[in-house]
Amino acid sequence: MSANPFSPEVVAAVTGHMNADHPEDTLLIVRALGGRPEATAARMTGLDGTAGEYSATVAGREVVVRIPWSQPITERAQIRAEVVRLYRQACERLGVPPRGEEGAQP
């Protein structure tokens, strides 16, 4: 894998925001798109230019889940667009109506 295009400060800001403000969205994404439908909790732990990384609680254990972006990204604004896309895709797959018009907003 190539170097992460995002600084540790950007990663910390995005993951902190997602975990503080959008934990339900993160859980939906992990359940629907991370192959962990049985997850009872999830938090975003990192990201790079190719994927978001999550820690999910499954059967009482923490497991790492990596969910790829639709394309490689290099700009901070692209992170938000990709997370919103993942959230909407997860809602559609799970048959859950998205909240608000914009969904998750990292």
**pLDDT of 40-74, one tens digit each?**
999 999 999 999 999 999 999 999 999 999 999 99
Q: What is the pLDDT of residue 56?
A: 98
Residue 3 pLDDT level (bands cut at 50, 70, 90): confident
pLDDT beyond 60 at 104: no
Q: Which residues of 70-90 are buried (b: 16+ CB within 10 A; e: fewer)?
A: eeebeeeebbbebbbebbbbb
CA distance 67 to 83: 10
- By CB neighbour count within 10 A (0-12 exposed, 13-18 middle, 19+ buried), where does 38 fall? exposed
pLDDT beyond 70 at 101: no
Q: How far is CA 8 from CA 11, 12, 21, 47, in A?
A: 5, 6, 20, 10
CA distance 83 to 25: 9
Q: What is the pLDDT of residue 2?
A: 56
pTM of the model: 0.90
